[in-house]
Chain A
Amino acid sequence: MRYCVPANVAYIDGAEVDLGQVLYLTILPYGQSVCLEGIGRLIWTQAASGDDPVTGIASLVGKPVDSIEQDVADFLEDLLRRGLLAKS
């Protein structure tokens, strides 16, 4: 499954402004925001880039795909439900 950033989501990663590894996502136009850190930030970033997030995360954390697949899929489902990611 491939993902993309919905047109109504603004985001900024701390690394862009020298503020560390934290990601803020804001749903437009209401402006409600969500903070992602750690593995959650990595999953969203990987998915938003258009790459396959499961393979990417497995490679980043050095674990077999099978061992993380379900957890990543659950988290991605949550992101989709909250409108923070879209299917492409």
Chain B
Amino acid sequence: MADLPPIPLMMRTRLAHATLQAVADECGADILHIKGAAVDASLSPQREGSPAGDNVEKRRLPRLSADADILVRPAHLRRLETALNRYGWQRKTRLYSGGAVEHSVDWWHPELGSADVHIRFPGIQLSADLAFAEFWRERRSIHIAHRPCKVPSLDAQRLVLLLHAARNGGAQSPDVAPSWTNATTMEQGRVRELAATLRAEVALAGATGHLDDYSDRPEYDLWRLLGLPDADVFDLWVAMVRAAPTTLARARAILYAVRIKAERVELGLERRATTIKVLRVQGSRLRRAGVGTLSVGVRWTTRLVARLRTRNHRASP
């Protein structure tokens, strides 16, 4: 039996999915596997030039994902985290936003690599508990690494891929064709219905090219900016605060910008960051935020002065 060489990424993430399901089963946590290997074959990019007789599964190009993504019932997060620790996983980050709402925590296993544990999915405005319950109601089971793993319904998988696409290239993302463009009118209708139930219509529109239909919604700016390849970090933060569905979420979005994120610095360095390095990166972030705040202040002042001038001009005889 050979010493264990590094497991190729595509195989490692599949084994990680199966392991996460076993950990969840052991501690009684409800989880759903999303993205990557958990996606139905019909929603994957297809091999070109496959023999005509090959079925969808054979024509499917294996999805390459950097980590194993799961969605956990929020009420079960703590028990899952305790079990993950017990079985050799290490938490690498706190809840992370990735430019949108705080939604996931990175975990690391020495042999199986990264797992991304989501409690919600960016773009869904319904509360995380209710959204999970909606996904869970229509769950199905598939085999990953030859072990049964629970996944959302096909419609929900389409929606998750599209919400992810809305943050990664919008309508140009490679996931949009199999999940939306190639879907039948009926399938698109069901995805729209699910998006409405989960209050995710704006983010969905960001992937399907209909975002301007929602220009009056508070989330509009956030999804417009997330669809851009080079959106300004400060503008994104302002849009994230504006899009927050509750006062608490808004307060958390504001605080997120100023919180020290040592683990993010460490992930960038791939080693433990020194206190000085963390403080230096934090200082740089706050400086950028300060410049952003200043530029917003200047923009607002300029607009106010222009308005006052117009008013005075109209008022003068």
Are A10 and B4 touching (Cβ within 8 A)?
no
B174: interface (CB < 8 Å) = no
Residue in A5, A29, A34, A37 whose beta carbon sits within 8 Å of that of B87 in the complex: A29
Are A31 and B1 touching (Cβ within 8 A)?
no
B32: interface (CB < 8 Å) = no
B279: interface (CB < 8 Å) = no
Q: Mark B17-47, 1 if CB is under 8 A from A, else 0.
A: 0110011011000000000000000000000
B229: interface (CB < 8 Å) = no
In the complex, the chain B residue whose C-beta lies closest to that of A11 is B146
Residues of B within 8 A of A24 (CB): 7, 11, 15
Chain A interface residue bracket vs B: 20 to 34
Residues of B within 8 A of A36 (CB): 1-2
Are A31 and B7 touching (Cβ within 8 A)?
no
Are B145 and A33 touching (Cβ within 8 A)?
no
A6 to chain B, nearest CB (A): 11
CA A37 to CA B7, docked complex, whole Å: 13
CA A17 to CA B25, docked complex, whole Å: 26
Are B11 and A30 touching (Cβ within 8 A)?
no
CA A60 to CA B185, docked complex, whole Å: 51
CA A14 to CA B144, docked complex, whole Å: 14
Residues of A within 8 A of B147 (CB): 10, 28
Residues of A within 8 A of B62 (CB): 17-18
Interface hits, B223-244 → A, CB 8 Å: none
Are B1 and A40 touching (Cβ within 8 A)?
yes
Given contacts A26-B112, A35-B2, contact A12 B146 (CB under 8 A): yes
A70: interface (CB < 8 Å) = no
Are A29 and B4 touching (Cβ within 8 A)?
no
CA A41 to CA B286, docked complex, whole Å: 55
In the complex, the chain B residue whose C-beta lies closest to that of A31 is B19
Residue in B5, B18, B25 whose beta carbon sits within 8 Å of that of A10 in the complex: B18
A78: interface (CB < 8 Å) = yes
Are A31 and B4 touching (Cβ within 8 A)?
no
Given contacts A10-B15, A31-B109, contact A26 B145 (CB under 8 A): yes
CA A36 to CA B147, docked complex, whole Å: 19
Are B15 and A33 touching (Cβ within 8 A)?
yes
Residue in A8, A18, A19, A31 whose beta carbon sits within 8 Å of that of B111 in the complex: A31
B167: interface (CB < 8 Å) = no
B177: interface (CB < 8 Å) = no
B96 to chain A, nearest CB (A): 23
B81 to chain A, nearest CB (A): 14
Residues of B within 8 A of A34 (CB): 1, 4
Residues of A within 8 A of B25 (CB): 29
Residues of B within 8 A of A40 (CB): 1-2
B8: interface (CB < 8 Å) = yes
- Chain B: residues with CB nearer than 8 A to chain A? 1-5, 7-8, 10-11, 14-16, 18-19, 22-23, 25-26, 62, 83, 87-89, 109, 111-112, 144-147
Could you pull out 13 A-B pairs where Cβ atoms are within 8 angstroms? A10-B147, A11-B145, A12-B15, A17-B62, A18-B62, A19-B11, A24-B7, A29-B26, A31-B16, A31-B19, A33-B15, A36-B1, A36-B2
